[in-house]
Amino acid sequence: MNAPIPRRAVIEMAPYVPPTGGRYGKLRLDFNENTVGCSPRVIEFLIARLSAERLSVYPDYAEVKPKLARHFGVDPDQMLLTNGTDEAIQVFLNTYADPSGPVLLLKPSYAMYRFYAELAGVPIREAHYQPPALAFPIEELLEQLTPETRAVILSNPNNPTGVGVDLATIERILQRAPAAAILIDEAYFEFSGVTAMRLLDRYPNLFISRTFSKAYGMAALRIGALFSQKQNIAYLHKAQSPYSVNMLAAMAAAAAIEDTAFIDELVREVLSARERLYVALTRLGIGYVTSAANFVLIFAGDRAKQICAALREHAILVRDRSYEIPGAVRITVGNRAQTERMIKELEQIW
């Protein structure tokens, strides 16, 4: 008996296999996570509020959503809670992308943009970060925009390059393509300090995503948010499962935003460690891209894979990105002590 045949888009997709096995207990400098964990208040809150009854009831976001909206400076009807940024990307594309026009992405960038675009079966166009500087390719991107473009997705700062763009550049894109849905993924906002949130009321084609997986240290809970004007959020709601965000994640997010001192201290520590890493890389003669995020892309030449493997032997995980940028290795910046440990091992290897 013949098996059912999947959609052509699924057959033609390359599988995404994240190298997540065996990471627990190691110094995780490979996925840009918070390397010290979430605020203790999150754990305390969940322990205090967790009960058998709460776990038996479908999620109710009525208490949590207004708190989060106030934190982000928007009205509740301008925000959609999502199961991590990944669901934000999927819902965005499911709502606005179709085969009638292309989705414009940057390359290299976060793999899930292409993943969900391919899954939706829509045509993809790309603007390319050019080595060695890997500057934001604004002119190529603007040239690629046409009246047929359905959507644009870019991360600010970009992953894996760490390159950020200013609001003036973002406005040029919004103005060039008023009929296209433009998603700005601000997963690393806490480290860059640049946000397009204040542009929401001015541009009906603007969408912004945020996550609690990075600075907030809650990657395992899968919680994020998508922002836009009220009428757009209403359409996004129609394309989203009503209970895709579990209640523990929503409760944890509400607790996390109350501990501003924790996030402020984490960001200060990471930015200080990032400067220390720059100094060490310069001393070793290792090229790098100046980053606006909590990671740094370095250029290790033909030794990229060797360095990743050698660091792993010392229980330090970094990410080989040489498959898309020759010789590139991405290093998450932890706190100062973790960064010093990584630098010490890198000095021995290099």
Strand-pairing partners, residue 328, are 299
Q: What residues have CB less than 8 Å from 151, skipping those under 6 apart?
A: 92, 93, 96, 97, 103, 104, 180, 181, 182, 183
Q: Report the C-alpha gap between 304 and 286 in whole angstroms.
A: 11
Tokens at 101, concatenated: 């026009």
Tokens at 315, concatenated: 């229980």
Whole-angstrom Cα Rg for the chain: 20
b/e string for 267-286 if b means 16 or more Cβ within 10 A?
Answer: eebbeebbeebeebbeeeeb
Q: Between 336-349 and 260-284, two packed helices, what is the crossing angle to 10 degrees?
A: 20
Tokens at 165, concatenated: 């763009």
Distances (CA, A) of 100 to 104, 121, 149, 150, 248: 13, 11, 9, 8, 39
Distances (CA, A) of 224 to 42, 84, 192, 219, 344: 16, 4, 18, 10, 35
DSSP 107: E
Distances (CA, A) of 132 to 28, 53, 289, 290, 326: 26, 56, 9, 12, 10
What DSSP string describes 270-283?
A: HHHHHHHHHHHHHH
Q: Report the C-alpha gap between 322 and 299 in whole angstroms.
A: 9
DSSP 74: S
User: What pLDDT shows up at residue 20?
Assistant: 60
Residue 310 contacts residue 349 (beta carbons within 8 Å): yes
Ordered by where they begin, the domains of the chain are: 19-38+260-349 (3.90.1150.10), 40-256 (3.40.640.10)
C-beta neighbour count of 257 within 10 angstroms: 17
User: What pLDDT shows up at residue 16?
Assistant: 75
Give pLDDT tens digits along the chain (350 positions).
778 888 887 887 777 776 666 787 899 999 999 999 999 999 999 999 888 998 899 999 999 999 999 999 999 999 999 999 999 999 999 999 999 999 999 999 999 999 999 999 999 999 999 888 899 999 999 999 999 999 999 999 999 999 999 999 999 999 999 999 999 999 999 999 999 999 999 999 999 999 999 999 999 999 999 999 999 999 999 999 999 999 999 999 999 999 999 999 999 999 999 999 999 999 999 999 999 999 999 999 999 999 999 999 999 999 999 999 999 999 999 999 999 999 999 999 99
pTM: 0.95
Q: Report the C-alpha gap between 218 and 265 in whole angstroms.
A: 17
User: What pLDDT shows up at residue 143?
Assistant: 97
- Amino acid identity for residue 213 in this structure: S
